[in-house]
Amino acid sequence: MSAKAIREATGKRILNQHLTGTAAEPCRFAAVSESTDWGELVAENPWLRSEKLVVKPDQLIKRRGKLGLIAVNADLSAVRSWVGERMGRDQTVGRATGKLRNFIIEPFVTHKQDEEAYVCIYSHRYADTILFHHEGGVDIGDVDAKATKVDVAVGASITAAEIEEKLLKKLPQLKKKMVATFIEKLYQVYVDLYFTYLEINPLVVTSKSIYILDLAAKIDATADFICRQKWGEIEYPPPFGRDAFPEEAYIADLDAKSGASLKLTILNKSGRIWTMVAGGGASVIYSDTICDLGGAPELANYGEYSGAPTEQQTYEYAKTILSLMTQEKHPKGKVLIIGGGIANFTNVAATFKGIVTALQEFQPKLVEHNISIFVRRAGPNYQEGLRIMREVGQNLGIPLHVFGPETHMTAIVGMALGKKPIPSVTAMEFSTANFLLPGGQNKESPLQSRKSSTSTLAPTTTSRETSGQASGQSGDAPQRKGVLFNKSTKAIVWGLQTRAVQSMLDFDFVCCRTEPSVVAMVYPFTGDHKQKFYWGHKEILIPVYKKMEDAMTKHQNADVLVNFASLRSAYESTVDTMNYPQIRTIAIIAEGIPENLTRKLILMAQEKGVTIIGPATVGGVKPGCFKIGNTGGMMDNILHSKLYRPGSVAYVSRSGGMSNELNNIVSKATNGVLEGVAIGGDRYPGTNFMDHIMRYQADPEVKMIVLLGEVGGVEEYDVCNALSDGRITKPLVAWCIGTCAGMFTSEVQFGHAGSCANSDRETAVAKNKALAEAGAHVPSSFDSLGDLVAEVYESLVQEGVILPAPEVPPPTVPMDYSWARELGLIRKPASFMTSICDERGQELNYAGMPISDVLKQNLGIGGVISLLWFQRCLPPYVCKFFEMCLMVTADHGPAVSGAHNTIVCARAGKDLVSSLVSGLLTIGDRFGGALDGAARQFSEAYDSGLIPMEFVNAMRKKGQLIMGIGHRVKSINNPDMRVKIIKEFVLEHFPSTPLLRYALEVEKITTSKKPNLILNVDGIIAVSFVDLLRHSGSFTRQKENQKYCWALSKISIHRAQCVLLHLHIFMNKEEAQEYIEMGSINSLFVLGRSIGFIGHYMDQKRLKQGLYRHPWDDISYVLPEQYN
């Protein structure tokens, strides 16, 4: 939604900050809520004690004076009493009943009746209208009939002199200049701060000052990225009669952080009918159908998810719905309708996985609350999505019925409400593109089973030219006036939308175009380059330009721009595009462009003769010729809806998602679509219904027209006028969605920004009635739209207006490898394997543990090592041991070889990584590698049964040093504190330390010969690590243990226990040896010493040390005495 109402207090705060240079007195007010501390309120606003006051609710309630919801000329105690009597109490306003929770208190302004005036500013497509009446107040009556009006064109301004001349004729002369200046400044604020509606009644005008008493306002919430600093923090209250729920705020926050669309409005928390619908237009239609079937009193919510939300986002959305559903029980049980049209680009399986996760999580509560679920969905990968749903339905223990595009979109509503029988078996589609899916080999081909109402298949017709001639039209014929696209149309795409471009190229290929429709892409965030795409089986390159100018100059045959820029940059990129006369059509995909900017684009486009489709659209399609972006969805839907060749029906819709549903309906009821355009769901689409309907009227290939309008706006009345005066003569089937709006007690903003009625004339019911009276074919509901389309089509066939042509089989379209893999059609061996980390989901996993759990459980760096090195979460004492090892091995001064190398590289100007690596490369048997060597030598000696003295003697006989024994400085009399600390920790916390105790016995022997032959840091870490691997109980080979299960079951319990004990020790030794051999013990030294090396690098850089040159006097030069 773009235009959102704000509280009176918010509006007055904004005007206080920005309305300057006028005679208007600053608005003084105090806002009161249920949590207000009156003592603090009075301290912050001392005028509350000293002045007479006015108090009223601040909850978007109209005509508060007539409802008696205002107290005037009261003191503070009376105001507190008045508020206390009403706070939290039910209040009925019209059909809505709600609780009063917010009030505004202001000073009472003493004035005369003739000092009250009325001023209002509101926006429409081409201008802003300013209304002024010299009389105001509660008894003003019909403002539209009484007030003087002036329109200010979009982008224009108005002066005080013009205001005085056109609006203030009945105002006393002495006040005219003051009021004119006020209105001039007020309008400037209105435009600059993106207001869409601003009403002040009464506006008190005395001889010297102006007072803003009552104010109602709406702002364009999509302009938040422009006006956030000027607006400050804004709370958008719900309409009166509907409380704000924390779940709504949670979904709104998810929506704000997502590129997808997530909406939730709770209508009746105790209702039994809940919906989870994909698509803005589809969500309205499902609500319409529920209300048509008598379910309005039990409809619990309105909402939608669309725009390809992630699996995690749909999980959060579904979890929120299910938590609300299961808070209260209903005697009849509850139903959940998971519906949607045919998606254009949303991966149905991915979104359904999120929903399935939520369903499984709530399974016990679903059973407890007797919930039945009805699913209908289609679009990319829908077959897998429906399979997942059917599979989970077998385990939930509740009724779950699943349907695809073979079932009418809203048929599940009748089933859920008990108005229609639930079919026991439904036909399922088993193809995607021209490939069979698993399980579909014995089914009839979908292409052959989709019977045309007018023709039969003609497999022998295979000419590549046939699709362009099916309706008597040549693909290369000159473009007729009013026709936007043909087989020669060339487009430039703004944005690096490779998936959408590939979709357009696949459509070109299946339509038998000779050349791709996309000639170039523009993306200012990369340099000029070429992007690879597929044209059938072949690979082609499409240039990507950094500058729009380069693309236009080098591709002057392009006359369409498909703009995928974000809502923040779509305006600038579209303005830039309109500087090039070659562009005749621009499709703006982004949703949420501020209305003021869109209105400027509309005027600019009209001046330059450019057709704009959008904003907030998926685009449009010309079967057999051209499609915009993701329109039409995946190739399976394009083939099923026969969009690869032209038909006879043209449609125009607001909803992009519903355009795919219209393609499906029209293809089943007629010979197919000739052209379809989704003008977009924003309040001001670039082109309106009439722009396209009149094109269709002028196109002889169009035999009938379908219009899908919606609640909000008055554009459909232009169609009524054209029908009445004979400008439209072709059969027009029309339906406006949103008929449910009048059944709700409070205002509901539907999925599209423009789908909200501001008057009775803008309701869907009124528009459907007007269209029928004007001569359009209007069904009784959306459910019967397809039947009416078929009826009108058959009559045209009977009259000979349409001559059905033989069906043309499309060429086989290759499937992308990535999509085939997604569908499970192919398999490929992996290039390499990993078992420690997975970054593919919504959250990074370390050995199966989500990173959030790693942080929440405070595992520390030792815990991370245990997960990534050993694939398991080791006990806390083990993690502490790892961290101690890292600390004691982090550094041993600048003189050791590794640190020395690092310092030399750093001083040579090398980067951090190069300097670090130079130090790490010195680690080996002579430096640092003693850990692995010590572990190996002590383990082999201990395992072979050598007593410590035998081990020492054996090593002496071999002439080998004992790794981990000896120190240059430390000795038995000057012990290494690092060794002491680790030894004490291990002996205290490790469950068993046989190898450490063995090494300590060896130390006694070696130190008796020489005091410095102590167990050093390398040795203590190595033997402790081996004890850890062998005796912590965390390292066993499950697969090997399982091999002995059968044998153990055949022997005595005592014998089995002995074998298991032996096996446990044996397997620990084996796995420990494997970790030793792979270098895991030395890895602690490598990781620890990296910390020190990095420290030395940073130290040298910080000290700004120059290039190192070793001094001559520290080098012994040994050369031959003479040259031989």
Give the three-state DSSP class for 641. coil
d(CA 182, CA 1098): 63
**Nearest to 133, CA basis, from 151, 125, 145:** 145
d(CA 702, CA 719): 17
The 3 state secondary structure assigned to 267-323 is: CCCCCCEEECCECHHHHHHHHHHHHHCCCHHHECEEEEEECCCCHHHHHHHHHHHHH
**Nearest to 775, CA basis, from 737, 738, 728:** 728
d(CA 1018, CA 963): 8
What letter would DSSP give residue 222?
G
In the block, tokens 């002889």 appear at 700
The Cα-based distances of 397 to 78, 177, 291, 359, 391 in angstroms read 59, 75, 29, 11, 12
Per the annotation, the verdict on 752 as an active-site residue is: yes
What letter would DSSP give residue 944?
T
d(CA 229, CA 223): 11
d(CA 1076, CA 214): 80
**Nearest to 325, CA basis, from 349, 352, 303:** 303
Are 651 and 734 in contact by the 8 Å Cβ rule? The answer is no
Pairing of strands 215-220, 3-6: antiparallel
d(CA 968, CA 1012): 7
CA 836-839-843 angle, to 5 degrees, is 110
Residues 6+ apart with CB under 8 A from 136: 116, 117, 118, 201, 202, 203
Residues 6+ apart with CB under 8 A from 481: 698
Residue 412 CB: number of other CB atoms within 10 A? 26
The Cα-based distances of 118 to 3, 71, 167, 399, 871 in angstroms read 22, 21, 11, 58, 74
Pairing of strands 845-846, 560-563: unpaired
Catalytic residue (choose from 133, 640, 692, 752): 752
Give the three-state DSSP class for 785. helix
Are 131 and 119 in contact by the 8 Å Cβ rule? The answer is yes
Q: How far from each other are the two terminal CA atoms of the chain, in whole angstroms?
A: 94
**Nearest to 811, CA basis, from 534, 447, 509:** 509
With 0-12 / 13-18 / 19 or more C-beta atoms within 10 angstroms meaning exposed / middle / buried, residue 234 is middle
d(CA 1121, CA 1124): 9
d(CA 247, CA 324): 8
d(CA 955, CA 1088): 29
What letter would DSSP give residue 760?
G
Tokens standing for 234? 């804004």
Give the three-state DSSP class for 996. helix
Residues 6+ apart with CB under 8 A from 96: 239, 240, 241, 242, 745, 746
d(CA 835, CA 817): 25
Q: Could you give the residue numbers annotated as active site?
A: 752
